[in-house]
């Protein structure tokens, strides 16, 4: 497992092949770090980033000015996470007991 790596969607704990028509889509490993400084596998985000988890995020703010017909514009703001660090794990249990499948041995 490495930062920016690509992985099969079937690693997601709630992945059901018949719900998706994926051909080349992949999971991307983002810069999400646990309390111990370890990279959280992208297929484990559902469990490790559940409600109640306290995180510190480094983000960039993007502003989009979208013009309309009346020569006015609407302004939209988006945040893009550069990195996420878990400061305190959630006290709530995993949602419905969902756990990620064990990753293939060559990813560990």
Say what the pLDDT of residue 32 is.
Answer: 96
- Name the DSSP letter for residue 51: T
CA atoms in the 13 A half-sphere facing the CB of 41: 18
pLDDT tens digit string along 1-41? 889 888 887 888 777 766 667 777 888 899 999 999 999 99
pLDDT tens digit string along 33-77? 999 999 999 888 888 998 999 999 999 999 999 988 888 889 999
Q: What is the pTM of this model?
A: 0.72
Say what the pLDDT of residue 14 is.
Answer: 72
What is the number of other CB atoms lying within 10 angstroms of the CB of residue 100?
A: 19
Domain boundaries defined on the chain: 6-57+83-92
Question: For residue 40, what are the CA distances in angstroms to 1, 82, 108?
Answer: 9, 15, 11
**8 Å CB contact between 29 and 1:** yes
């Amino acid at each position: 497992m490495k930062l920016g790596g690509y992985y099969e969607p079937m690693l997601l704990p709630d992945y059901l092949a018949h719900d998706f028509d994926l051909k080349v889509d992949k999971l991307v490993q983002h810069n999400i770090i646990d309390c111990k400084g370890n990279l959280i596998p992208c297929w484990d985000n559902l469990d490790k980033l559940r409600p109640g988890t306290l995180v510190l995020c480094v983000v960039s703010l993007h502003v989009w000015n979208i013009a309309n017909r009346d020569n006015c514009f609407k302004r939209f703001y988006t945040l893009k996470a550069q990195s996420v660090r878990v400061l305190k794990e959630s006290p709530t249990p995993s949602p419905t007991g969902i756990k990620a499948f064990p990753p293939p041995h060559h990813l560990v």
